Amino acid sequence: MNKVLITLLIVLCYSIILLKCTKPTECELPYETGPCRGMFQSYYFNTTSNRCEQFIYGGCGGNKNRFENEKECMEECGDGSQRNG
């Protein structure tokens, strides 16, 4: 019984660590300016450079790989060093 509980605890801990280290799939999407003509400075996570980079967002449409600032982008998609928690 104790071996089963210990094994379950180890699996649970490993799963939590994996979830915290895995980037959300939104971070793998290319940036999209969207169909509107606004000019909003935004950031997206570039999987090639593994960094957040600027782009101009049109104000509508697009996808979830869009952030208001670099810090928010890195917290969500970066290597984890900027994440809270």
Q: H-type helices in the chain, by residue range?
A: 2-21, 70-77
pTM greater than 0.85 (yes/no): no
Architecture per CATH, domain 24-85, reads as Irregular (4.10)
pLDDT at 84: 40
Average pLDDT over residues 53-76: 97
Is residue 34 left, alpha or beta, with left meaning phi > 0 and alpha meaning psi from -120 to 50?
left
Is residue 9 predicted with pLDDT exceeding 80?
no
